[in-house]
Amino acid sequence: MTISDDSGNILVGLGHPVRFGRGVGSRVYFEGLQVHIKPVFARLPVSVILSVLAVSVCVPAVVGHGHVPSWLDAAALDRGQHVAVHHARVIRNRGAVNVRVSVRNVAGAGDVVVAAIRYSSTLLGLAETHQFGRLLPTQRLQFALYEKALAEMHESADRRDVDAVERSAERCRDLLRAMGAQGLSDRYRVPAELVPLRAGSHVEVTVEVDLIENGVHRMIERQIRIPIQPPLPDGTGPATSLRYDVRSQAILPVQASHGEEAAAGATWLAGDQHLHTVHSLDAFALDGTVEDVADYAAVGELIGLNWIITTDHSNVHTEWFGTPYYTPEQFAEGAAQAAIYSAANPLLALYSQEMGAGQGGLLDVPSHYLAYPYSSDSTGYMENPSSGLLFGLANCEPEQVIIDRVAAAGGFGFIAHPFESFALTFATWDFDNGATGWSGLEIWSDAGGQIQSNDDEAYIKWHALLKEIPAPQQGVLADRPGFPNAFPVGIGNSDAHEPGFIGATFTYARAADLSRASVTEALMRGRCVASNGPLLTATINGAPIGEVGFLLDSDSDVGLTLMTSAEFGPTGFYQITVLVNGDVRVTIPPTGDPGISLSLLLDGMNLSPPDKFVTLRADSVDGTYHALTNPIWLQFTTLGDANADTRVDAADFARWVDCFSGPGVQRDPACDLMDFDRDDDVDVLDFAGFQSAFTGP
């Protein structure tokens, strides 16, 4: 096996040191297979690069949030060896498909040699073999010693013995590095022109790993099958129109759609704002992630997302095979790759950080804060000091210090997985810490795309926070002292530590266009829906999610639209729940409709003070797919008072003129405030009512 640079000037044998280019996008070629090598690896010998790409053996206490690699499961081992195939889990857009294979000798009785890895696809007409001859020593002893050191570290933490914790952590790091030097990783690329775009078809690849153990050949086979699915729903297109009578609980047909009526020019876009690339040490050293920002962006585009924000861990401060983490240079490389990808492709890629904050002692590990760029495409590198434990995770600065640093850099931030924690790794967020300035929180964060118990806690806490927001006045929510937005926004993210989990949980945002300004404004203002597929939108008297709707006391209509695809199943197999002030008000059972787009008018909601906000959620009957909306805020007023200022004056007359119509004329639902005779149109007969209510110029 030989390795060369882009110009073909460097040819070396396996195991010899090699110099790589320092610029973004330096490459090596493995038997004709292009693999991106990051500048941070430039000082490593080739043998270490090849092995560390495969990842070390570890246990859940130090694995990325909620992500437990399959090689920790004894049932996933084949005579002690673990073969994993990593790839995008779905294809919704044209693009190449990267397949990464990692081989580990986790608990074999002895050493094994990886002779070759073969890739084939009868369906696509592919066949390729990568030769290796790579020895993988068994890691049984090292793994046992690591487990022992880790247990001692936790026992010492229980005793609050800081010195003993430090000694155990150092042994763990040494063993992790030793195990990280043993393993093999390989990549194969299915060209974009071979990927079908026919929904219902699939890409299949067979991977065969040839091993030699005690002179005996054997083969481990893995087959992958990636489904081709339709694009994600975007809020447009025809819908089946139904009416749900809240009082009788009857579902009835209607003649016209009463669903989402978003602001002019707005559409629903999808993105994942919590991702970890090769520059997050836990993703690299534990999960074997070698992919960079450009790789993540390509997968995001392949699975149909419109944007991504990669958020590498910036509170990890340690060295790994001589490479320091996390550095300004690593941030600059990630930010440059994001900018280059965005300029050349129809996906917006932004780059930022996940920061450790608060709980500054060695044994009281910090919670996490997601920093996003707002006033420009990048906040630039922000200091996030920490030290101790396995990856320098402890001794972070207070929450307010970190939040203020993000704001000073022109960014805004969300609390990451607020109710999730791992011992000696990261903690839950302390909502009683008095910190201000954060914009919202993850109400759903899961790399598997499922709602976990900690997500349920976040959803409940979020509603409690929304209840504390004062009711809007004259259609506007009051400013929150010390905060950048009017209410805490709830979003969904995957927290993916490898490309195969990107977009498992994500956020829909109602944005005017695909730009950093429009997307971040939608996230800041709460025009969002957390989802793992279906799109649930709603309006109240024309006001969409994140906005304030004007309505009369005892108004009864709420319009909602649920959109799915063949991937997520028909809308008729979803239960829809309407929450008012955080409490369940209406539960709409599955309609049984076989379509993928449903517009539903809820008649008889009887909204009245002190009702303050409405949120909705959709859940498939099998518990697989979900959508959680941000609130629509409620402003109660009287007939004729269109701006809810307690006066019916010249400003309201201008609104009456705008609403003036006749029978059968479709109009803004907010014009209900000018329909004095309640006959569903605003005409000359309503003018007398307006005159009677008129209080002054």
Strand 126-136 vs strand 548-552: parallel, antiparallel, or unpaired? unpaired
Tell me how crowded residue 222 is: count the other CB atoms within 10 A of its CB. Answer: 14
Closest CA to 491 of 454, 525, 464: 525
Structure-block tokens of residue 452: 């976990």
Regarding predicted confidence, which is higher, 387 or 262? Answer: 387
pLDDT higher than 80, residue 633: yes
- The residue type at 553: D
Question: Alpha carbon of 267 to those of 100, 263, 349: distances in Å?
Answer: 35, 8, 19
Looking at mean pLDDT, say which of 24-38, 232-246, 350-364, 639-653 comes out highest: 232-246
- The residue type at 649: D
Closest CA to 629 of 531, 512, 483: 531
Structure-block tokens of residue 215: 């002179």
Closest CA to 576 of 254, 268, 267, 246: 246
Q: Is 366 exposed, middle or buried (0-12, 13-18, 19+ CB in 10 A)?
A: buried
Cβ contact 654:632 at 8 Å: no
CA angle 55, 170, 352 (to 5 degrees): 55
Closest CA to 200 of 89, 88, 91: 91
CB burial string 180-191: b at 16+ within 10 A, e below: bbbbbbbbbebe
Tell me how crowded residue 361 is: count the other CB atoms within 10 A of its CB. Answer: 13
Tell me how crowded residue 102 is: count the other CB atoms within 10 A of its CB. Answer: 21
pLDDT higher than 70, residue 42: no
Instruction: Give the pLDDT mean for 261-273.
Output: 72
**Residue entry with tokens 């026992």:** 155
Closest CA to 30 of 191, 216, 189, 217: 189
Question: Alpha carbon of 329 to those of 25, 350, 381: distances in Å?
Answer: 14, 16, 9
pLDDT higher than 90, residue 288: no
pLDDT higher than 90, residue 227: yes
Give the C-alpha separation, 245 to 558, whole Å. 11
pLDDT at 69: 62
Share of the chain above pLDDT 70, in %: 87
For the stretch 508-552, pLDDT in tens is 999 999 999 999 999 999 999 999 999 999 999 889 999 999 998
Give the C-alpha separation, 121 to 140, whole Å. 35
Give the C-alpha separation, 496 to 86, whole Å. 13
State the pLDDT confidence band at 68, using cuts at 50, 70 and 90.
Answer: low
State the pLDDT confidence band at 694, using cuts at 50, 70 and 90.
Answer: confident
pLDDT at 505: 98
pLDDT higher than 60, residue 600: yes
322 SS3 class: coil
pLDDT at 136: 96
pLDDT at 41: 31
For the stretch 129-187, pLDDT in tens is 999 999 999 998 988 898 899 899 999 999 999 999 999 999 988 888 888 788 899 99
Q: Which of 11-20, 416-425, 436-445 has the lowest mean pLDDT?
A: 11-20
160 SS3 class: coil
pLDDT higher than 50, residue 416: yes
Looking at mean pLDDT, say which of 217-231, 384-398, 552-566 comes out highest: 217-231
Question: Alpha carbon of 531 to those of 439, 492, 626: distances in Å?
Answer: 19, 6, 6
Instruction: Give the pLDDT mean for 59-82.
Output: 64
pLDDT higher than 90, residue 34: no
Tell me how crowded residue 588 is: count the other CB atoms within 10 A of its CB. Answer: 21
pLDDT higher than 50, residue 393: yes
Q: Give 327-348 as a DSSP string.
A: -HHHHHHHHHHHHHHHHHSSSE
Instruction: Give the pLDDT mean for 408-419.
Output: 98
**Residue entry with tokens 């008000």:** 585
Tell me how crowded residue 556 is: count the other CB atoms within 10 A of its CB. Answer: 16
Give the C-alpha separation, 556 to 670, whole Å. 13
State the pLDDT confidence band at 76, using cuts at 50, 70 and 90.
Answer: confident
pLDDT at 266: 64
Q: Is 173 exposed, middle or buried (0-12, 13-18, 19+ CB in 10 A)?
A: buried
Mutual angle of helices 684-693 and 650-659, in 10-degree steps? 170
For the stretch 104-126, pLDDT in tens is 999 899 999 999 999 999 989 99
- What number of helices (H) and strands (E) belong to the chain? 11, 34
The residues near 657 (Cβ < 8 Å, ≥ 6 apart) are none
Q: Which of 355-359, 428-432, 501-505 has the lowest mean pLDDT?
A: 355-359
Average pLDDT, the chain: 86
Regarding predicted confidence, which is higher, 32 or 683? Answer: 683
State the pLDDT confidence band at 59, using cuts at 50, 70 and 90.
Answer: very low
pTM of the model: 0.88
Provide the edge-to-edge strand list for the sheet that holds 597-603: 250-253, 240-245, 597-603, 558-563, 535-540, 543-544
pLDDT at 414: 98
Looking at mean pLDDT, say which of 227-241, 260-274, 654-668, 673-687 comes out highest: 227-241
Cα 81–chain centre separation: 32
Strand 558-563 vs strand 535-540: parallel, antiparallel, or unpaired? antiparallel
State the pLDDT confidence band at 419, using cuts at 50, 70 and 90.
Answer: very high
Instruction: Give the pLDDT mean for 651-680.
Output: 78
For the stretch 448-467, pLDDT in tens is 999 999 999 999 999 999 99
Closest CA to 109 of 89, 84, 79: 79
Closest CA to 659 of 636, 637, 635, 680: 680
Instruction: Give the pLDDT mean for 286-299.
Output: 93
Give the C-alpha separation, 368 to 264, whole Å. 37
Regarding predicted confidence, which is higher, 16 or 293? Answer: 293
Instruction: Give the pLDDT mean for 473-484.
Output: 95
pLDDT higher than 80, residue 51: no
Instruction: Give the pLDDT mean for 36-62.
Output: 31
